């Protein structure tokens, strides 16, 4: 199988060299070329025919956002990974890039003690993302390993909480669901989106600005209630636990799971332990398998699991892993996912099923 061809676009000679060195050790990847500006990148794309582009955000002339817009006009399916700084401004522009069609993002190394550490950090984050995006583009999504199907506890109890896990492609997928939940949605929502600090707060702010429900980053010790959506804070696992008559959020910095913190598995386990069968879990687009074991915990406790389908996912790793584990009750296209959620929650609570009217 030919190596994945990558075009590196960055105005910094140092960063271009760093990326070339980081990708050089991955035998599945070939650096097809580099470009020091958006204009040069646009000229090189038809010459080099790359499979993936890494795109700097802040460049003179055509900046990363403007270059991305032009790439999407000319090459709507070409995967583009934004390469941004872990700063307030970098995070904000990255969120804008994702909304404009960027496939994913990676953060530039910070607080590294050596060039070797910086190269290792970039390699660990970037190689897997490049390979996953190309696999998705070529429809060569790896089949999850066979696992004994998760059994469900008996019963058909009402749903008292909605919990969601997502990663690559998640910000846009969440924008197709959370803003369309009705103002009278009768249960709280807790979710994990794989993102670093700053990014998760900006994601919560973006969702909150266009939603009828209140959307905020998770706060340690905060009680949850219907009409609220809580986003796991970057760098912290999010869990729920009963405290008297309330259910509260807990944040911790225990070791990453599935190389992630926050991790979907951590949240899903705690939701299953706290709510038993009264859970609806949703796993959306994302790289890797985080959420599969947690989904099995929810199902074994008697709860329900819905996953996003392959066709509408940027990467079908996470939802595909749930399906492979036999833990999915339904596979749903993204445009139908919100309606499926509202219908299931209301039906379980004996409410009128006016789903079409409820979902804007």
Quick check: 308 pLDDT over 70? yes
Does residue 177 surpass a pLDDT of 60? yes
- Of the residues 100, 121, 137, the one at which a domain ends: 137
The encoded tokens of residue 284 equal 């959306």
90 in a structural domain: yes
119 and 169 assigned to the same domain:
no
Has residue 309 got a pLDDT over 90? yes
Whether 142 maps to a domain, the answer reads no
Span 233-267, pLDDT tens digits: 999 999 999 999 999 999 999 999 999 999 999 99
Query: Which of 102, 137, 172 lies at the terminal end of a domain, its last residue?
Result: 137
The predicted-structure confidence for 107-123, as pLDDT tens digits, reads as follows 888 765 677 888 888 88
Is 335 in the same domain as 260?
Answer: yes
* Predicted confidence (pLDDT) at residue 104 exceeds the cutoff of 60: yes
Radius of gyration, CA atoms only, the chain: 21
**Mean of the per-residue pLDDT values of the chain:** 91
**Does 360 score more than 60 pLDDT?**
no
Residue 144 falls inside a structural domain: no
Which member of 37, 104, 132, 194 is catalytic?
Answer: 194
Same domain, 185 and 294: yes
- Please report whether residue 155 resides in a domain: no
CATH number at residue 9: 3.40.50.2300
Same domain, 345 and 298: yes
My answer on whether 100 and 219 are in the same domain is: no
- Residue 146 in any domain: the answer is no
Measured distance between the N- and C-terminal CA atoms of the chain, rounded to whole angstroms? 45
Give the per-residue pLDDT at 151.
66
Which of 75, 105, 137 finishes a domain? 137
| Confidence (pLDDT) at 184 | 96
**What pLDDT, on the 0 to 100 scale, is given for residue 156?**
67
> Residue 231: which CATH number?
3.40.50.180
Separation CA 349–CA 34 (nearest Å):
56
Domain count of the fold of the chain: 2
* 224/330 same-domain check: yes
Residue 51 in domain? yes
Longest dimension (CA), the chain: 65
Can you give the pTM of this predicted structure? 0.89
Instruction: Tell me if 199 sits within 8 A of 96, measured CB to CB.
Output: no
Give me the catalytic one of 103, 132, 167, 312. 167
**pLDDT score of 144:** 44
Mind listing the pLDDT tens digit for each residue in 67-100? 999 999 999 999 999 998 878 888 999 999 999 9
Same domain, 344 and 288: yes
Check pLDDT > 60 for residue 143.
Answer: no
For residue 142, pLDDT beyond 50: no
Domain assignment of residue 218, given as a range:
161-358
Question: Considering 11, 104, 160, 290, which one is annotated as catalytic?
Answer: 290
Give yes or no for residue 148 having a pLDDT over 80: no
User: Is 211 part of the annotated catalytic residue set?
Assistant: no
Q: For the chain, what percent of residues have pLDDT higher than 70?
A: 91
Same domain? For 95 and 174 the reply is no
pLDDT digits (tens, 9 = 90+) for 328-340: 999 999 999 999 9
pLDDT for position 111: 63
User: In this model, does residue 356 exceed pLDDT 70?
Assistant: no
Range name among 73-82, 219-228, 255-264, 345-354 with the lowest pLDDT average: 345-354
Q: What is the pLDDT of residue 135?
A: 78
Residues 133 and 171 in one domain: no
- What pLDDT is attached to residue 358? 44
Q: What is the pLDDT of residue 113?
A: 61
Q: Summarize the confidence of residues 288-316 as an average pLDDT.
A: 96
- Shared-domain flag, residues 245 and 345: yes
pLDDT over 50 (residue 15): yes
Higher pLDDT, 150 or 11: 11
Determine whether 265 is an active site residue: no
Q: Are residues 107 and 198 in the same domain?
A: no
Query: What does the pLDDT look like over 149-170, one tens digit per residue?
Result: 566 665 568 999 999 999 999 9
3-state secondary structure the chain: CCCEEEEEECCCHHHHHHHHHHHHCCCCEEEEEEECCHHHHHHHHHHHCCCEEEEECCCCCCCHHHHHHHHHHHCCCCCEEEEECCCHHHHHHHHHHHHCCCCEEEECCCCCCCHHHHHHHHHHHHHHHHHHHHHHHCCCCCCCCCCCCCCCCCCCCCCCEEEEEECCCHHHHHHCCHHHCCCCCCCCEEEEECCCCCHHHHHHHHHHHCCCCEEEECCCCCECCCCEEEECCCCCEEEEEEECCEEEEEEECCCCECCECCCHHHHHHHHHHHHCCCEEEEECCECCCCCHHHHHHHHHCCCEEEEECCCCCCCEHHHHHHHHCCCCCEEECHHHHHHHHHHHHHHHCCCCCCHHHHCC
Task: Tell me, yes or no, whether 12 lies in a domain.
Answer: yes
| Residue 218 maps to a domain | yes
Q: Give the separation between CA 24 and CA 350, rounded to whole angstroms.
A: 58
66 shares its domain with 202? no
Q: What is the mean pLDDT of residues 121-138?
A: 85
């Amino acid at each position: 199988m030919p190596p994945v061809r990558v075009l590196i676009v960055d105005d910094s000679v140092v960063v271009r060299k760093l990326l070339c060195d980081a990708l050089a050790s991955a035998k599945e990847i070939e650096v097809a070329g580099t470009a020091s500006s958006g204009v040069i990148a646009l000229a090189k794309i038809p010459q080099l025919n790359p499979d993936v582009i890494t795109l700097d955000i802040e460049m003179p002339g055509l900046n990363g956002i403007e270059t991305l817009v032009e790439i999407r006009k000319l090459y709507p399916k070409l995967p583009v990974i934004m390469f941004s700084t872990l700063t307030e401004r970098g995070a904000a522009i990255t969120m804008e890039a994702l909304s404009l069609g960027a496939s994913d993002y990676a953060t530039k190394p910070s607080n590294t003690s050596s060039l070797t550490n910086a190269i290792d950090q970039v390699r660990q984050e970037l190689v897997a993302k490049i390979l996953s995006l190309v696999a998705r583009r070529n429809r060569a999504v790896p089949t999850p390993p066979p696992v004994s199907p998760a059994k469900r506890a008996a019963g058909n109890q009402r749903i008292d909480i909605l919990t969601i896990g997502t990663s690559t492609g998640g910000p846009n997928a969440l924008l197709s669901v959370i803003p369309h939940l009705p103002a009278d949605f009768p249960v709280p929502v807790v979710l994990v989106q794989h993102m670093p600090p700053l990014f998760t707060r900006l994601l919560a702010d973006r969702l909150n600005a266009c939603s009828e429900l209140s959307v905020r980053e998770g706060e340690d010790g905060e009680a949850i209630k219907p009409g609220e959506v809580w986003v796991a804070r970057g760098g912290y696992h999010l869990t729920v636990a009963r405290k008297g008559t309330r259910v509260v959020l807990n944040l911790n910095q225990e070791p990453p799971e599935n190389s992630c913190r926050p991790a979907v598995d951590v949240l899903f386990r705690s939701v299953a332990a706290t709510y038993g069968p009264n859970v609806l879990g949703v796993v959306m687009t994302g790289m890797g398998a985080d959420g599969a074991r947690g989904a099995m915990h929810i199902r074994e406790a008697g709860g329900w699991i819905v996953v996003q389908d392959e066709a509408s996912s940027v990467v079908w790793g996470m939802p595909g892993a749930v399906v492979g584990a036999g833990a999915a009750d339904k596979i749903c296209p993204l445009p139908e996912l919100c309606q499926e959620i509202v219908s299931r929650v209301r039906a379980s609570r004996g409410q009128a099923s006016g789903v079409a009217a409820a979902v804007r």
